């Protein structure tokens, strides 16, 4: 009787260890200064002053703000980004977005009303982050 209960507890622990980590989140009125890296999706509603490396999807909420370079697989931008953005597949820019800098993406959608002041390369080309470009020109 006790043995079977112990086996069930052990099984549920193993199941929890094998589940994906889910979506990371940075809430409104929260800020980070420094680089951020994640192996899964992330939603930012706060401020990141630094670089973001995301191996999943970035969702930047309407009040979200990134000042730095972004590398991700897919992105939905509703907030503000100042920097270089490299998106492996689809970059979706919503009407509330304000983007200034450079982007590189395979596919792009920009909704009417978005502020979109960028140099854009599409179709698999890559852009080196500004820090690398500045080092080369120095």
Per-residue confidence (pLDDT) for residue 137, from 0 to 100: 57
Per-residue confidence (pLDDT) for residue 39, from 0 to 100: 93
Per-residue confidence (pLDDT) for residue 25, from 0 to 100: 86
pTM score, two decimals?
A: 0.74
**pLDDT tens sequence for the chain (138 residues):** 455 444 443 333 333 343 355 778 888 889 999 999 999 999 999 999 999 999 999 999 999 999 999 999 999 999 999 999 999 999 999 999 999 999 999 999 999 999 999 999 998 555 555 555 555 555
Rounded Cα distance between 138 and 120, Å, is 24
CB atoms within 10 A of CB 103: 24
Backbone φ and ψ for 27, nearest 5 degrees, come out as: -75, 165
For residues 19-50, one letter each, b for 16 or more C-beta atoms within 10 angstroms of the residue's C-beta and e for the rest, the string is eeeeeeebeeeeeeeeebebeebbbbbbbbee
Per-residue confidence (pLDDT) for residue 26, from 0 to 100: 86
Rounded Cα distance between 100 and 119, Å, is 9
Backbone φ and ψ for 80, nearest 5 degrees, come out as: -115, 135
Backbone φ and ψ for 42, nearest 5 degrees, come out as: -145, 140
């Amino acid at each position: 009787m006790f043995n079977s209960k112990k086996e069930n507890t052990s099984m549920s622990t193993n199941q929890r260890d094998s589940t994906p980590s889910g979506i990371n989140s940075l809430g409104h009125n929260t800020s980070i200064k420094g680089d951020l890296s994640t192996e899964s999706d992330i939603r930012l509603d706060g401020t990141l002053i630094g670089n973001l490396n995301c191996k999943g999807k970035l969702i930047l909420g309407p009040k979200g703000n990134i000042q730095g370079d972004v590398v991700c697989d897919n992105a939905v931008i509703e907030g503000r980004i100042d920097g270089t953005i490299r998106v492996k597949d689809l970059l979706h820019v919503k009407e509330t977005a304000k983007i200034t800098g450079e982007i590189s993406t395979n596919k792009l959608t920009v909704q009417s009303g978005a502020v979109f002041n960028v140099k854009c390369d599409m179709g698999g080309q890559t852009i080196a982050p500004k820090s690398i470009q500045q080092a080369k020109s120095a």
